[in-house]
A = this chain, B = another copy of it.
Amino acid sequence: MNPTNSSANSKIRVAIVGYGNLGKAAEHLLSKTTDMELVSIFTRRDPATLKTQSSVPVVHNDDMCEWTDKVDIAILCLGSATDLPDMGPKFAALFNTVDSFDTHAKAAEYAEKMNEAAAYGDTIAMTSIGWDPGLFSLMRLMIGSVLPTSKVYTFWGKGVSQGHSDAIRRIKGVKDARQYTVPVESALWKIREGETPDLTTREKHTRECYVVTEEGADQAAIEAEIKSMPNYFADYDTTVHFISQEELLRDHSKLPHGGSVIGVGETSEGTKQVVEFSLNLDSNPEFTASVLIAYARAAYRMWKNGETGYKNFSDVPPKFLSPLSNEEIIKGIL
């Protein structure tokens, strides 16, 4: 890509790649973003089968090359397990991209791949954007920088974990399930008061499962299988509630989430400083899409300033996230 090809003072032209929960949320939110406009939606499915909310062209991934001059930045609304590692570099070689890659163990490897692709395309590839990783990462870095000797905790929830819900659904006899990750309130409050306990996995979070079983299924066996599942549940205090499909749809169809990053540091003997950043989200995908859109704005503006290659949250001057001018920031925000 080349900055001269791109729109000068007009709206930032955005493509969405992938049309699941996250892509749909981004589409909805872009319709309300005054300085950006959605120009196309990319999919690997047959474009004719997608029912979108907007009227922009739906384009098959195979035709992405035709859009390089018409898109300023692509928001990759794809999963981290296999989709981003596979498709991320392909898009990054042609477009500025921002994504929410969240497999911590593979972040360095993915960063390298995306950096190579972005070098090839003279683009920016900004990865691991969202609330965790993303805003929570920013807070972990900020607290560690301001209070170098602090202890920093991350708690998640109360919120739906898709991965844990999926794990329950794979059990024989289970029709549907929803799993909530719940922070242990007493641990949270201790830290807020300035204590710095060493906490085990069990002491930080509990897990609440709402499960719909098939007729005649052995619920006691299913409950035992959930509670003993390694990695997912065995290290946690887990409660299992069997409910009907109607109850699940009525009471558990939303995707709330949230959590807290809390740091406790001493600046002198006995002088405690407690910093907390917390989120209480009615919709995880809509908030993640909101963060992606702000960082898409930043990524494009950094690219216009001549920057290319792999980027993450730590590279972004906050002013680029905002449509406000420097003068407006000094007068209205400072």
Binding site for B on A (CB under 8 A): 25, 28-29, 32-34, 104, 107-108, 111, 128, 133, 135, 137-138, 140-142, 144-149, 192, 194, 265, 267-268, 270-283, 286-287, 289-291, 293-294, 297, 312-319, 321-324, 326-327, 329-331, 333-334
Contact = CB atoms under 8 A, between A and B. Distances in A.
A84 to B, nearest CB: 14
A294 B141 contact: no
B290 A312 contact: no
A287 B273 contact: yes
Contacts of A326: 314
Contact of A314 (B108, B270, B317, B323): B317
A108 B330 contact: yes
A124 to B, nearest CB: 13
A144 B268 contact: no
Given A135-B142, A322-B145, A286 B273 contact: yes
Given A33-B148, A149-B32, A322-B144, A275 B279 contact: yes
Contact of A142 (B111, B133, B317, B321): B321
A142 B329 CA distance: 11
A33 B267 CA distance: 11
A295 to B, nearest CB: 9
A272 B137 CA distance: 22
B312 A283 contact: no
B283 A128 contact: no
B268 A279 contact: no
Contacts of A290: 146-147, 265, 267, 273
A318 B329 contact: no
B286 A271 contact: yes
A287 B147 CA distance: 8
Nearest to A104: B334
A141 B286 contact: no
B104 A25 contact: no
Contacts of A146: 135, 287, 290-291, 293-294, 321
A334 B317 contact: no
A274 B260 CA distance: 12
12 contacts: A107-B331, A137-B334, A141-B333, A145-B318, A146-B287, A146-B294, A194-B282, A267-B283, A272-B282, A277-B277, A312-B329, A315-B317
